[in-house]
Amino acid sequence: MSRQGHKRRRLSRSSLALLAAVIVGAGGIAIVAESASAGISGRAADVSEVSDVSEVADGSTDIVTATIDCPDVGDRLRDVPAQAKPQVDAKLAELDVQVADAYRKLADGAAAEGPLLGELEKQRGEAIAELSGAIGQAATGAQAPTGLEALRACEMKKASADAAVDQPNAAARQGSGSPRQGSGPARGDFTPITSVRPNVRKPAPAAGASKGSFTARCGRNENGHFNPDNVIVAPGISNGAHHMHDYVGNLSTDAFSTNDSLAAAGTTCTNGDRSTYYWPVLRLRDGRAERDANAPGGGQDGNVGTILRPKQVTIEFKGSPVGRVQAMPRFLRIITGDAKAFTNGTANANASWSCTGFENRQLKDKYPLCPRGSDVVRTFNFQSCWDGRNTDSANHRTHVAFADRNGRCANGFTALPQLVQRIVYSVPPGARFAVDSFPEQLHKPVTDHGDFINVMSDGLMAKAVRCINSGRACR
């Protein structure tokens, strides 16, 4: 992957450990440290190369896992002056690193829960104060944001997660040490798709609806473009996501990408679309060591196992059921879903899970168990209403919105082509799998999310809008 001559900025070099509070005896609790070993994979292993792990899935048992729950400061921001943004982004990333370091200390037995949370609160308070001060200094005649100091305290949160399972031949493949599953997901995070009732509702198209579509063929990341960066949320910061991303479209996307560098880069899309489309990788929790076994975003952040290459990726833009759509502004950024939904709550959760042949049944908080011959499907329906002014916002959410249940945008918002990403995977029957996540999110399905930066040329976007508004299906 291209680094465009930039020097990667690292905030920390700590290996993370995930914590399992295991119920023993009559209500006793023991803290077990699980070393997470799992860089960048130039090529994800094919499913055919993975051994049957159905015994792992069937033989695992739910335990209770401790995680650290901290308020999401970035989600509370509404107005960040442009000159303060680099410092604010750096401080938000520092808050994520502080949580990671807290995991390491607790797992190593270096601190008890009470003192650990106290030290974390102190660190967060200092970072939040610097963040608030930067905003206040940059905002002419304005005060620093109030109320952020109340977000400094964290607490322990318990959740169900499966016990770690070692694969007997994994250590030999890695050379030293046995990679382990890490914490999560739990047995309760999976459900048979056949047990879900049909739940997909689509508004009936009104007169004048834009019924067309525009599809970009951008491949399945055959070129192996992976990194743990997030240029939208943490620009200029290496490993800002703390989990590995899969990319299609723009060939150069990393933490240091700019509008100019994205516009000048190549693309995997056959129609010349230079937009960047990315999402967390999906892994088999098979105990095997990927090539990111010792790298940030991979094993160092508790993301372990074989990275699954998508069987199919569909990038489609759709219309509005109530009227015409307008062109997206170039360099519009949209995030759908919430990478921290397990601790933040599900208000912004949006990714859907299903199986081929059953896509009228969608799940947000469960992974699907698909019948034999059916594949796992992830679907991201992006926000399609725009405020008409901003290509991004301080919390990366308020400049865009979802249409209401009838397909209408709120007052002050304009209907845009709706991006729908559909990603299909072949998963061995009975295999346990999970999406990459921040360590404290325990690989919960509700944390799945998708990211998009529009880098279409004005001409290509105009073509997409014409196709959609005229009712044609174009590529």
Which of 396, 282, 360 is CA-nearest to residue 50?
A: 282
Residues 6+ apart with CB under 8 A from 26: none
295 or 165, which is more confident?
295
Q: Which two tokens stand for residue 113?
A: 């829960």
What pLDDT does 105 receive? 75
Amino acid identity at 301: D
> How open is the CA angle 105-106-107, to the nearest 5 degrees?
95
Instruction: List pLDDT tens digits, range 49-69.
Output: 222 333 333 344 455 567 889
Q: What is the mean pLDDT of residues 305-321?
A: 98
Asked whether residue 211 carries a pLDDT value surpassing 50, the answer given is yes
pLDDT level of residue 184 (50, 70, 90 thresholds): confident
Partners of 282 in beta bridges? 435
Mean pLDDT rounded to a whole number for the chain: 83
Asked whether residue 22 carries a pLDDT value surpassing 50, the answer given is no
d(C-alpha 160, C-alpha 172), whole Å: 30
What percent of the chain is helix, strand and coil (3-state, nearest 5)? 25, 25, 55
Partners of 398 in beta bridges? none
Q: Which H or E run includes 137?
A: helix 113-138
The SS3 of residue 121 is helix
Amino acid identity at 23: I
Rounding to the nearest 10 degrees, give the CA dihedral for residues 93, 364, 376, 184: 60
What pLDDT does 146 receive? 83
* Half-sphere exposure at residue 56, Cβ-oriented, CA atoms within 13 angstroms: 26
Helix then strand count (H, E) for the chain reads 8, 23
Please answer whether residues 66 and 203 qualify as being in contact, where contact means their C-beta atoms are separated by less than 8 angstroms.
Answer: no
Please answer whether residues 66 and 19 qualify as being in contact, where contact means their C-beta atoms are separated by less than 8 angstroms.
Answer: yes
What pLDDT does 49 receive? 28
Pairing of strands 312-318, 352-355: unpaired
Above pLDDT 90, what percent of the chain? 70
Asked whether residue 447 carries a pLDDT value surpassing 70, the answer given is yes
Residues 6+ apart with CB under 8 A from 210: 319, 320, 323, 324, 325, 415, 468, 469, 471
Radius of gyration for the chain, computed over Cα atoms and rounded to the nearest angstrom: 22
Residues 6+ apart with CB under 8 A from 330: 391, 454, 455, 456, 457, 458, 461
For the chain, give the number of residues: 475
Asked whether residue 36 carries a pLDDT value surpassing 90, the answer given is no
What pLDDT does 446 receive? 97
Tell me the Ramachandran region of residue 291: left when phi exceeds 0, alpha when psi lies from -120 to 50, beta otherwise: alpha
pLDDT level of residue 229 (50, 70, 90 thresholds): very high
- Give the position of tokens 């905002």: 139
d(C-alpha 340, C-alpha 390), whole Å: 24
Q: Which two tokens stand for residue 321?
A: 């059921």
Instruction: List pLDDT tens digits, range 235-283.
Output: 999 999 999 999 999 999 999 999 999 999 999 999 999 999 999 999 9
302 or 316, which is more confident?
316
Instruction: List pLDDT tens digits, range 84-130.
Output: 999 999 999 999 999 878 876 766 667 788 899 999 999 999 999 99
d(C-alpha 441, C-alpha 44), whole Å: 23
Phi, psi of 259 (to 5 degrees): -55, -40
Report the range of poorest mean pLDDT among 95-109, 146-160, 169-183.
169-183
Q: What is the mean pLDDT of residues 360-374?
A: 97
Domain boundaries defined on the chain: 17-70+154-474
> How open is the CA angle 364-368-371, to the nearest 5 degrees?
155
Q: What DSSP letter does each residue of 391-414 carry, written as one string?
A: S--TTSSTTEE---TTSPPPTT-E
The SS3 of residue 345 is coil
Asked whether residue 47 carries a pLDDT value surpassing 80, the answer given is no
Report the range of poorest mean pLDDT among 143-147, 229-233, 381-385.
143-147
Q: Which two tokens stand for residue 236?
A: 């200029």
First to last CA, the chain: 27
The SS3 of residue 160 is strand
Q: Which two tokens stand for residue 240?
A: 């800002």
Q: What is the mean pLDDT of residues 72-88?
A: 93
Above pLDDT 70, what percent of the chain? 79
Report the range of poorest mean pLDDT among 35-39, 120-124, 399-403, 414-418.
35-39
304 or 7, which is more confident?
304
